[in-house]
Structure 1
Amino acid sequence: MIGRTGAEGRDSVTMIVQVARMYHEQNMTQPAIAEQLRISQSRVSRWLKQAVEMGIVRTVVLPPEGVYPELEEQLVRKYGLRQALIVESSGDERSTMWALGAAAATYLEATLTNGARVGFSSWSETLLATVDSMVPLKRRRAESIVQIMGGVGQPAAQLKATELTFRLARIAGGTPMFLPTPGIVATPSAREALFQDPNVVETAAAWENLTDVLVGIGSVTPSPLLQVSGNAVSEAQMRTLRELGAVGDVAMRFFDADGRPIETEFNDLVVGIGVEALLKTPRRVGIAGGARKFEAIRGALRGGWVDVIVTDLMNAQALVADN
C-alpha cells in the first residue's frame, strides 16, 4: 500500500500498475480507463502521476515484485473479464483466504461508486476477510447493501450473514437490506412461505436493480457450511449435483465445468437471488482461491458468473494455461 493512510489513501500498487499499462501501453484514454475500472477520472489521473513518482513508468511500465499485470491481462482477455486481481499466497488455505480478502477490500475501497446498490452473498471466510480488511470510507459510496442469500449453515450462520451485511453497509455508508432466513430450506413450500414475508419481499425486489454483487465461489466438495435446518445437505442431493456435472456454485446456484447452470430440484430449496437476476447485474465480483477451487473458479469464469475475479497466483497460472 502507498499514499495516505485510511480508506481514501489505500491505493493498490496492483491497480496503479494496471492503470499505467492501460494508458501508456494500450493507448486507452483516461475516461475509458475510468469507465472500465469503475473509478473516477481524477483517481486515474492521480494514479498515473503516482506511477511516474514511484518509478513504475519510465519508457515502459515496471511492475514491482509480487504484482502480475501481464498474467492479469491474460486472464481478462481469455475469459472476457472486466478485471482480474492476483495475490501471492503461502499455500495454506486460511492464509490464502485472508490474502484474497485484503486484495478485495482494497479493490472495493477504490472502485465503489456513489449510489452503488451492492448485493452481498451469504457468510463465507473470504467475504469475512474482505469486510474485516476494509476501513470506513470517508464519503458515502453505496446507496444500499443488499443480502442476496439467507444464512447457510447452523442458525448461527444466519446471524453472521446479517452481521456482515450490516458491517459492510456501515463501512460504505449504505442502507442495509437483510434476508433474515435460512439460505436453504427443507421443502419448496417452506421457501414459498418465506417469500410471503414483507421483509423478504422487499429485499428480493431489490435484487432486480443491483449495480454490483460481491460473492464467493464454492466447490462441490462437501462442506460443513452446507446445512438444511441444522442437518447436513443429504449425500443424495450432493451426489445428484455431481452426477449432473456440477463443479461449483455462486450463491448456491450450481453450474457445470462450462459454467452452465445445473437444473435440479435443489434450486427450489434455495432462499436467494435467482440466476437471471444475478447474471444481469452489471458488475459481479468473485473472490476465491486455493487448490480445491480451481474447477469451480474456471466454471464461474467460463459461464460469466463473475466478471471481476480476485484469486491466487497458482489458480491464475492454471487458468491461463488451461485449454
Structure 2
Amino acid sequence: MLDSTMDPQLLHRAASAYYLDNLRQAEVADRLGVSRPTVSKLLTEARRIGMVRFEVLDVSGPDVTDLEQRLRDLLGIDRVRIAPGDQREREFRGIGDLLGEELRRLELRRGDVLLISSGTTTRAVSRMPGMPELRGVIIAPTVGGQQESDPVFQTNEIVRNLADRTGGDPRFIFAPALPSPSLWRSLQADPSFVGITDLWARASVLVSGIGAPYSSRESLTSVVPRDDPSLRDAVGDVCLHFYDADGNTLVYPGSDRLVRPSAEVLRAIPTSIALAAGRGKALSIRAGAKAALFTTLITDAPTAEAVLADTESEQG
C-alpha cells in the first residue's frame, strides 16, 4: 500500500504525465490545474512512497538473466531472481523490489495466507515502499519471539511493518520462540496459538531469510544455543530449521519446543521465497535448496556468482 497523505490519484496523474508522457513540470501543472511548486511536491512524494522507482544498473555487471538460469538449474528450484550489485551495501533495496514483483505475480486474494520469518533481510524489506497491495491477505509470523531485544528477531513487528505497507491483515504470536515445557503444553490448547498453527498449515506463500553458517553467525536469536556440538555442522537455517551441507535438518537442545512450523509444513507451502545476500551464504543457499526449504530464491549478483564459483571449485 502506498502510504501518503496526498491524493493517490493526483500523485499518479502527475507521475504518469511527467515520467511516462515526458511533459515538463509546467505542462503537468497546466494539465492538472495546479501550480508548478505543487507538481514538484507531487513528484517528490510519488518517489518517496515508491510509486515511482529508479534503478541504476552496474555498468560492468554480469548478465543477470544468465545468472538466474544457471543458478536455477544448479539448485533445482522453481525460480531465481537476482538484483544487480551488492545488496547489503544498498540496504537490500533491490531484493525488496524483486520481492514486490514476485508477490504481484502471485496475485494473492482476500483470505490467502502469507507467512514471514524474522531476520535482517526480512525486516529490511518489510519496511520498504513499493510492495503490492495485499488487502484482505492474512500476514502471519513463522516464529515466536516476544522475549527478543534485537528487533531483527521481533517477528510480530516485521508482520506489522509488512501489513502497514500492503494493507494486509496482520496476525501475531503472543509467545516466546522457546517456551518452557509447561508453557509449551499450555499453548497446544490455547485458541490464539491454535489459530496461528492453522494459518501455517494453509499458507500460500512463505517469505523467509536464509541464515548464515552457525559458526560465523554475528547475530543469533537467544533461544539457539551457542557453541552446542549438535549445531557444529550447521551451514544455515530457514525459520530456525538448521541444516548441514547435505540438507539434513539438525536437532538441538530445545528444538522440539520451538514455536515454528515444522519442516514438513514449510515444504508443503506452494511458494516459499527465500531472501539472501552475502558471499558467506553461498553454502547456506545450496544446502537450503537440498533441504527443499524454499522454491524461489531472491539474491544479488555477487552472492549468485559465489554459489556458482563454489560449485565449480568443488567439481574441480
Which one of the candidate residues 242, 253, 269 is aligned to 1:254? 242
Q: Which moved more, 1:187-196 or 1:265-274?
A: 187-196
C-alpha displacement at 1:300, in angstroms?
Answer: 0.8
* Inter-partner Cα distance in structure 1 for 2:200 and 2:106: 20
1:118/1:213 contact within 8 Å kept: yes
Partner of 2:120: 125
Structure 1 residue 159 displacement after superposition: 8.8
The answer to whether the aligner puts 1:178 opposite 2:172 as a matched pair is: yes
Equivalent of residue 84 in structure 1, options 80, 86, 108: 80
- Report deviation, 1:120: 1.2
Tell me whether 1:168 sits opposite 2:124 in the alignment.
no
**Paired position in structure 2 for 1:241:** 231
* Candidates 279, 290, 313, aligned match of 1:291: 279
- Counterpart of 2:306 in structure 1: which amino acid? A
| Offset at residue 178 of structure 1 (A) | 1.0
Indicate the larger mover: 70-79 or 271-280. Answer: 70-79
Q: CA deviation at 1:291?
A: 2.2
Instruction: Judge which range, 103-112 or 311-320, deviates more.
Output: 103-112
Taking a change above 3 Å as real, the CA distance of residues 160 and 240 of structure 1, as seen in their structure-2 partners, is closer
Kindly indicate whether the alpha-carbon contact (under 8 Å) linking 2:248 and 2:291 is maintained by their aligned counterparts in 1: yes
Q: Which residue number corresponds to residue 205 of structure 2? A: 212
8 Å contact from structure 1 (residues 96, 312) kept in 2: no
Evaluate the alpha carbon distance shift between residue 137 and residue 99 of structure 1 in structure 2; reply closer, same or farther with a 3 A threshold. Answer: closer
What letter matches 2:268 in structure 1?
K
Give the equivalent residue in structure 1 for 2:307: 319
Q: Does the 8 Å CA contact 1:183/1:270 hold for their aligned counterparts?
A: yes
* Pairing partner for 2:297 from 302, 305, 309: 309
| Alpha carbons of structure 1 residues 137 and 98: separation in structure 2 relative to 1, 3 Å | closer
Residue 95 of structure 1 aligns to a residue in which SS? coil
Q: Give the 3-state SS of the residue equivalent to 2:189 in structure 1.
A: coil
Cα displacement string for residues 275-316 of structure 1 (whole angstroms, at most 9, x for unaligned residues) = 111111000000011122122111111222111001121221
Aligned CA distance change for structure 1 residues 253 and 205 (closer, same or farther; 3 Å): same
What is the CA–CA distance in structure 1 between the aligned matches of 2:148 and 2:248, rounded to whole Å? 29
- Partner SS for 1:164: helix
- For residue 95 of structure 1, what is the amino acid of its counterpart? R
Per the TM alignment, residue 141 of structure 1 is displaced from its structure 2 partner at its CA by 5.5
The counterpart of 1:73, out of the listed 69, 75, 88, is 69
The 2-side partners of 1:105 and 1:153 are apart by: 30
The change in CA–CA distance for 1:90 and 1:315 in structure 2 (over 3 A counts) is: closer
Q: Match for 1:143: what amino acid?
A: V
Q: Is the 8 A contact 1:118 1:144 kept in 2?
A: yes
Contact 1:118 1:142 in 2 (8 A): no
Task: Note if contact 2:148-2:154 (Cα within 8 Å) is conserved in structure 1.
Answer: no
Aligned equivalent of 2:194, options 153, 178, 201 = 201
Mark the runs of 5 or more structure 1 residues left unpaired by the alignment. Answer: 10-63
SS in 1 for 2:90: helix
Tell me the number of residue pairs that the alignment of Structure 1 and Structure 2 aligns.
253
Counterpart CA distance in 1 for 2:90 and 2:152 is 24
Q: Distance in 1 between matches of 2:76 and 2:254?
A: 30
RMSD after superposition: 3.0
Give yes or no for the alignment of 1:145 onto 2:139: yes
Determine if the alignment matches structure 1 residue 101 to structure 2 residue 106.
no
Once the two structures are aligned, what percentage of the paired residues are identical?
25
Shift of 1:156: 5.9
What is residue 154 of structure 1 aligned with on the other side? 148
8 Å contact 1:246–1:254 — kept in the other structure? Answer: yes
- Provide the rounded CA distance (Å) in 1 between the counterparts of 2:169 and 2:79: 27
